[in-house]
Amino acid sequence: MDIIKCYDIFKAFGDQNVLNGVNLNIPKGKITVVMGASGGGKSVFLKHLIGLLKPDQGRILIDGNDITRLGRRELMEIRSRFGVLFQGGALFDSMNVYDNIAFPLREKTTLSLKQIADKVKELLEQLKLTGMGDKFPDEISGGMKKRVALARALIMDPEIIFFDEPVAGLDPIMMWNIFGLIKSTHEQKKYTAVIVSHDIPHIFSIAEYVAMLHKGKIVACGQPDEVISSPLKEVQSFINAEKWHNNQVEYEKN
């Protein structure tokens, strides 16, 4: 079953057309990866899915609700079923790691302090952050920030989690670490994951469904093997260019 259905989404900023008729169905309970070139509109697309941007045209159905037509209150209600990991992490710099993770529970639930503490502690352990609760975002590494952001996205047990570039800028070890955590939490909680990324070919290792955004449209989608072997020139040149770039970066690091 498809939990998210996008029909002909158009979005322009001034005279720049970013989305030019995006059509995509996202299967429930799977890990879907939307890939595409930098600046191609992946983050803009993701912001439409969570209702942060409204399309100029088109419809976005989430579980049958057209989120482009919902009022503020209804949108908030549906958003409470989402977790989001933003591209920059978007942690609160003035709160320590514990409070960053506990924040949604305090704001949106009636759990007791003890219940909140237990939940946060369990997630800290699961995400290999034990003992980090007292640290502030500027005292931890980029990889730890991503893990804290992941913990905060997971804490409400959401049905859908949106990830914007979860491993960009991380070294290969931390990248595999984050992929492993996404995979293991996904297997455990069975949420629908929508990941936007240009980390090719690594991201294919966790993708169950892949879509490629190119010039504002989805030009290919399907199982990872199907997309990898797509005869389309734009797909092949993107995959090969990203592979080459990533090999180069790893080579230079070694």
Rounded (10°) CA dihedral 251, 235, 28, 49: 90
Candidate residues 33, 34, 44, 85; the one interacting with ligand ATP per rule CB under 6 A: 44
Stretch near ligand ATP under the rule CB under 6 A, chosen from 31-39, 92-100, 102-110, 124-132: 31-39
38 binds ligand ATP (CB under 6 A): yes
Omega before 231 cis (within 30°)? no
Cα 57 to chain centroid distance, Å, stands at 23
Distance, CA of 105 to CA of 99 (rounded, Å): 10
User: CB 20 → ligand ATP: shortest distance, Å?
Assistant: 12
51 binds ligand ATP (CB under 6 A): no
Number of neighbours of residue 14 by Cβ within 10 angstroms: 5
Nearby residues of 73 by Cβ (< 8 Å), 6 or more positions away:
none
Closer residue to ligand ATP in complex, CB, 86/179: 86
Q: Which does 159 bind (CB under 5 to 8 A by kind): ligand ATP, Mg ion, none?
A: none
Stretch near ligand ATP under the rule CB under 6 A, chosen from 35-43, 78-86, 122-130, 139-147: 35-43
55 binds ligand ATP (CB under 6 A): no
212 binds ligand ATP (CB under 6 A): no
Nearby residues of 99 by Cβ (< 8 Å), 6 or more positions away:
92
SS (H, E, C) 177-243: HHHHHHHHHHHHHCCEEEEEECCCCHHHHCCCEEEEEECCEEEEEECHHHHHCCCCHHHHHHHHHHH
Candidate residues 41, 55, 83, 133; the one interacting with ligand ATP per rule CB under 6 A: 41
42 binds ligand ATP (CB under 6 A): yes
Q: Which residue from 206, 162, 142, 204 is spatially nearest to 180, judged by alpha carbons?
A: 206
Positions that interact with Mg ion (CB under 5 A)? 42-43
* Cβ pair 86, 164 in contact under 8 A: yes
Candidate residues 3, 6, 9, 18; the one interacting with ligand ATP per rule CB under 6 A: 18
User: CB 126 → Mg ion: shortest distance, Å?
Assistant: 27
Between residue 110 and residue 139, which ones bind ligand ATP under the rule CB under 6 A?
A: none
Closer residue to Mg ion in complex, CB, 18/116: 18
In the sheet that holds 31-35, the strands lie side by side as 82-85, 160-164, 192-197, 31-35, 209-214, 217-222
User: CB 87 → Mg ion: shortest distance, Å?
Assistant: 5
User: CB 46 → ligand ATP: shortest distance, Å?
Assistant: 8
Between residue 177 and residue 206, which ones bind ligand ATP under the rule CB under 6 A?
A: 198
List of residues contacting ligand ATP (CB under 6 A): 13, 18, 36, 38-44, 87, 165, 198
